[in-house]
Amino acid sequence: MRSQGSAFRLFLFLAVVLGVGAAASPASAVRPDSQAVLSPIDFQILNRPAPVRGADDRRHMVYEIQAVNQSGMDVQIRKVAPRAQGNRLGLPFTGDRLESRMRINSGASGTTLGPGGSAMIFIDASYGLARRTPKAISNAISLAWDDTASAGDVVRQTFIGVSTRVSRQKPVVLSPPLRGAKWVAVNGCCSMNPHRGATLAIDGTVRVPERFAIDFVQLNRQDRLFSGPLNDPFSYGYYRTPVFAAAPGRVVGVKRHLPEQVPGSLPDGATIQMAGGNYVVVNIGHGRYAFYAHLATNSVRVKRGQKVRTGQIIGLLGNTGNTDGPHLHFHVMNSPSPLQSSGLPFVFRGFRGQGFLRNVVGIQAGEIGNIDRRRLRGRYRNVLPMEDQIVRFGR
């Protein structure tokens, strides 16, 4: 094992001369120069994480790390381990766990970045409720690459850095946007799913609007998603159910005339502008905006500029936009634009957990729900439902 490869020395020289390197970290994270290392990969955290309490009785800090290989070598990212106050913050991301959380922009699999390659790493650093929320976090990172000057010799490098302060913004407390039992929080917090990985480069800036988004679908009395033809929206008993304002505010965005899609497959030719289908955006104050998407055609009952109150019906659940089945997509964001925004954490004032759905993919094909009725049960207050948790809203 070598501490430095000759192929890396040229990169180090250029980095010093040309000023290549990562952006400045919080002052509290700066280490003595004698301990600092020059890395072939630049890591940047996109957002300050804001802790949110989940129904699993843990607080979740969700953030993304953008990684860019600034060298001319293949470099493997072996470990990313969130830390706070010198202690580990949740389990480290290594092996398959790291690969599942890492999206290489070239489309390659694995955890190795080629020369000039880049990737996004999606982190969920969770910790128990008894632990104090840290003011700042960093990441212990391990890399490896081949030393071209010594065939077969692998250079390994480990350092602690890639730091950020933790946001002091608390999750907004909301009323549920739906009523009734057996609602399933699909694609929710905080595993890797289509919402979590939905980073968008809009006008040259990376956005993560769906960071905490949830797709709500409802099981019927037989614990099925639908009864009747899969491609008939009226087979889904919750289709066209009322959608309620989760908080008071002023309507700042509306789309109402897009057509219903046929359930069972995603529509052809979908554009990013039509992705949310018919929707309502409500300014709920303090830089937060509630987004209700995929509403039924011509069902929206509010207009731009109108004030709404908590519990007011704003539209009906539909199947419009980029969707393969009726559902309500709901999230909170930091801008009135569903595209040019970043997702913010939120919690619901109260709901009852009814279990955990094991076969989300299966119910979309007509299977009976395989429900773990011992997991994620009970009354919850001011928490975020977990992915695939079954919940009851209201009495």
3-state secondary structure labels for all residues of 145-193: EECCCCCCCEEEEEEEEEEEECCCCCCEEECCCCCEEEEEEECCECCCC
3-state secondary structure of 142: strand
Evaluated on CA atoms 250, 256, 258, 260, the torsion sign reads positive
What is the residue-averaged pLDDT of the chain?
Answer: 91
DSSP category for residue 40: S
Secondary-structure percent of the chain, ordered helix, strand, coil, rounded to 5: 10, 40, 50
146-155, 184-193, 295-304, range with the lowest pLDDT = 146-155
Contact status, residue 11 vs residue 157, Cβ threshold 8 Å:
no
Instruction: Name 293's bridge partners.
Output: 329
Q: Are strands 87-88 and 75-84 parallel, antiparallel or unpaired?
A: antiparallel
pLDDT for 74: 96
HSE (side-chain half, CA atoms, 13 Å) at 71: 27
For residues 295-314, average pLDDT: 98
Instruction: Name 357's bridge partners.
Output: 371
Residues 6+ apart with CB under 8 A from 193: 187, 387
For residues 153-182, average pLDDT: 95
CA dist., res. 49 & res. 138, Å (int): 12
3-state secondary structure of 18: helix
Tell me the two tokens of residue 278.
């018919």
Neighbours of 335 (CB within 10 A): 16
3-state secondary structure of 233: helix
More confident residue, 357 or 191: 357
Residue 83 has pLDDT above 60, yes or no: yes
Tell me the two tokens of residue 301.
């009952």
CA dist., res. 89 & res. 81, Å (int): 7
Residue 27 has pLDDT above 70, yes or no: no
Query: What backbone phi and psi angles, to 5 degrees, belong to 229?
Result: -60, 135
Query: What backbone phi and psi angles, to 5 degrees, belong to 96?
Result: -60, -35
For residues 93-118, average pLDDT: 96
Chain-centroid distance of CA 74 in Å reads: 28
The structural domains of the chain, ordered by start, are 8-165 (2.60.40), 172-393 (2.70.70.10)
- Residues above pLDDT 90, as percent of the chain: 83
Residues 6+ apart with CB under 8 A from 48: 63, 164, 165, 166, 167
pLDDT for 2: 36
Tell me the two tokens of residue 77.
């990212």
Q: Where are the beta strands (DSSP E) in 166-207?
A: 172-174, 180-186, 200-202, 205-207
| Dihedral-angle region of residue 382 (phi above 0 means left; psi in -120 to 50 means alpha; beta otherwise) | left
Helix spans in the chain (H): 6-18, 95-100, 360-363
pLDDT band at 188 (very low <50, low <70, confident <90, very high): very high
Residue 100 has pLDDT above 80, yes or no: yes
CA dist., res. 242 & res. 254, Å (int): 16
Tell me the two tokens of residue 328.
């309500």
Residue 209 has pLDDT above 80, yes or no: yes
pLDDT band at 151 (very low <50, low <70, confident <90, very high): low
Residue 227 has pLDDT above 60, yes or no: yes
Closest among 82, 46, 377, 380 to 199, alpha carbons compared: 46
